[in-house]
Structure 1
């Protein structure tokens, strides 16, 4: 029979291992994600193989599979991280408010836009993410980002479109998908421009969309 002191010592030892493993686990995940992001700056996503990724990250394949089943799972986590970051850039009371966005755009000069950009929708705000924005240039990654943004924002925006424009759910979802997809496609081209210039063009695009939706007449 193990003595009480011996049992306590074993428990302490297990707890220390658990405490040590947790930050190492987080560090390893982050290291794998950072490695893939660095690789994506040099080559398309579909050309990257797990074997090469592991070599670049200096980890064994078995280590990769401790955290991810496929490289697509890894990419999805990276995109989710980027969207969580965008969420943190927007106060909760302003999220999904198209009318507040309309007011801000009409009252803000072009050179002042960077100060009031917290109201910009995620597909526009993605250009501000220095660590992630280049992903929209990858033809395989970009549609996944667009779909994720649509899924993330749809519960907030679709009910508003249904109420204010008297649309059924299918119509509102289709309209919102059109807005997100079109805006994201244009934003890919804006990456080549200077920051002030793409803020100015984003403002024009958003004003065009919001006027078409008659946001100034919304309740």
Structure 2
């Protein structure tokens, strides 16, 4: 939709039409995506940009696409030193609060079932980039203790420990710490699965976990 609008109309006219579209059809993810793509480059300060993402997500709280776009934007602003660590902490905490309250779908492939894990994993990934493995561990421990992540989240955390162990220079000491964290992650995953009557598919998590102990 964006290409057809921008091909036929001046940018300001296309923005106006996209805005009218979201006002008339606020539940349309594609209209919001188009409006964001058109409006953000023309906006100045981050204070002007962020409310548009917030409004889009307020109308479409379960949209995997809009959450992905928003999280990408947040990290980009942080990379460019427009937003500080505390701003990202607040934004990710808010995203966690909003997505964990959404009811899951009976369809395992539904976007809403992938959304919570997306936010959790992106939070841990950003924490690793901003504060290293220690900060990432603090974040994923906080998430595991207060939420019920799926196997993909645990798998992502194990892979993070694996990558850190491979990059480390402290040898056996670092590897031992990583192994302890992986054991803890696996144990926590087992506990959560027991509460869910053992319904998880463990193949990937088990395989990646066992790479630490060979």
Q: Compare relative contact order (CA 8 Å, sep 6+) and give the higher one, 1 or 2.
A: 1
Check whether TM > 0.5. Answer: no
TM-score normalised to structure 2 length: 0.31
Larger Rg: 1
TM-score normalised to structure 1 length: 0.30
